[in-house]
Chains A and B, each alone.
Chain A
Amino acid sequence: MNRLEIDWTRCDGHGLCATLLPDDVALDEWGFPVLRGREISAGAAPDVRRAILACPALALRFADR
């Protein structure tokens, strides 16, 4: 678990992830997340985990591979 992934069927473009994780997520012109695709370091993992729990649509997750 080292990269972010979006369940596009769930994401409604609330945009909270981009606010909480500005280094990992940007928003496109329609308000949907654009992942920067970088590895999540062990140090950043707690913040990322909090952001995942904060997503109102439960659309943000770690890519399980």
Chain B
Amino acid sequence: MTTLQDTRVRVIGEPRLLAGFDLGRLDRQRHHWTHGTQPDLTRETYTRLAESVGLRGRGGAAFPVALKLADLPARGIAAVVVNGAESEPVSRKDRLLLTVAPHLVLDGAVGLARALGAPHVLIAVHDAVAATSVREAIVERDDGVAIEVSDTPGRFVAGEARAVLSALEGGPAVPPGRRVLPTRKGYHRRPTFLSNVETFAQLAVLARLGSKGFSSTGLISEPGTQLLTIAGAVRQPGVIETPTGVPLDTVLQFAGAEPGPVLLGGYHGRWPARTDGLTLQRPDASAGIILALGSDTCPLGEVHRVAGWLASQSAGQCGPCVFGLAALVDDFGRLVRGEPAGWHDAQRHLGLVPGRGACAHPDGSARFLASALEVFGEDVRLHLGGGGGCGRPVRGVLPVPGGEW
């Protein structure tokens, strides 16, 4: 186990993205010793490789990389954008990669930019240590492609793909009102390939290993490894690299998680009804965030706290998100206090929020809250039963950042 930037880093199986991490940050030389040089591949080869290993974006939406490549026009691609905003408050994998293995991420982004004929590589980062590491790495390289690092604000919605593009263009870090794909109209309204930090590191590994080598671990349907961030009621929180398809219970045991409910996919994610038999792969694993709740905190009170934070993270652009999430915070508050009307209003409001915003923040927040009401049905009964709730205090096991993070 190694600790970097207060993040514990461990590996189940063979490290790929995190190869060589135990000696600290990989500078250019150590990067080459560990990974070898990045081969020059064509756009067709990248598309074929991504398709043959079923590579999906690692930012949460799990969109197939090959489809994203296929949607780009033949020429005129403005930029390759590395989204390192990592605005999910618990996630640490992307800033870890940028801090420890910046050259792997840059190899992936620059290699693809060359293959696509894109003149720019733009990297959006929020974490200051990660940004410094990438800037230092850029000085060590000579790629013949313009690479730029930009700092993004820490708001949840600022990590959304089109909000990142808007910020990179010098605009506000909020999603625009039209839902257009970056592959069609991205950076300055020109075709752009945008993906998450880990996706580019995976592309760099894939370019070196080829589809056969890449598929020597993990699932047949989605081979390779994945980065997970585990936190909450666990003895050893941190980032873990595992083969895809690893059982959730194995990861929970490995991190020393207390028994109890588990949240998958962060604060836009879901509470699975049971953890046994679940394996971690996309789309369910989303951006790889696992939060263990434990059993000595009030689940509904925890969810209420997160609801308040989610409402505070709305960009404030869209009425149903602003008013709907505020109403849901109030509903959950009344539910926790034992008022049945809170539960009824929550049911109605959960139907009024999804699909009614410029981005997926209302949808994701509603998904998280609706899943909680389903899985914590027994707690709902305890709270509404007139017995004064479930008898457990709200310990704040689900981290809610205050102010800047």
Contacts and interface: CB of A to CB of B under 8 A. Distances in A.
Given A30-B323, A32-B323, A9 B356 contact: no
B385 interface: no
Nearest to B321: A8
Contacts of A10: 177
A28 interface: yes
Interface residues of A, number: 15
Interface string B150-190: 00000000000000000000000011111000000000000
B357 interface: yes
Interface residues of B, number: 16
B351 to A, nearest CB: 10
B177 A32 contact: no
B382 interface: no
Interface centre among B174, B175, B319 (most CB of A within 10 A): B319
A8 B322 CA distance: 11
Contacts of A31: 319
B320 A9 contact: no
Interface in B355-393: 356-358
B147 interface: no
Contacts, number: 40
Contacts of A11: 318-319
Interface string B322-352: 0110000000000000000000000000001
A42 B178 CA distance: 25
B317 interface: yes
A12 interface: yes
Contacts of A23: none
A8 B177 contact: yes
B150 to A, nearest CB: 22
B165 to A, nearest CB: 15
B166 to A, nearest CB: 11
A44 B148 CA distance: 50
Given A13-B319, A28-B320, A30-B323, A8 B176 contact: no
Given A28-B352, A32-B356, A9 B323 contact: no
Contacts of B177: 7-10, 59
B323 A8 contact: no
Nearest to A12: B319
B178 A8 contact: no
A9 B352 contact: no
Contact of B356 (A8, A29, A59): A8
Nearest to B324: A30
Contacts of B174: 9
Interface string B295-326: 00000000000000000000001111101100
A7 B177 CA distance: 5
A7 to B, nearest CB: 4
A8 B157 CA distance: 15
A56 to B, nearest CB: 14
B62 to A, nearest CB: 23
Contact of A32 (B175, B176, B320): B320
Contacts of B352: 28-29, 34
Interface string A1-39: 000001111111100000000000000111110100000
Interface of A: 6-13, 28-32, 34, 59
11 contacts: A7-B177, A8-B318, A8-B320, A8-B321, A8-B356, A9-B175, A29-B352, A30-B320, A31-B319, A32-B323, A34-B356
Given A11-B318, A11-B319, A30-B320, 17 more contacts: A6-B356, A7-B177, A7-B178, A7-B358, A8-B317, A8-B319, A8-B320, A8-B356, A8-B357, A9-B177, A13-B319, A28-B352, A30-B319, A30-B324, A31-B319, A32-B319, A34-B352
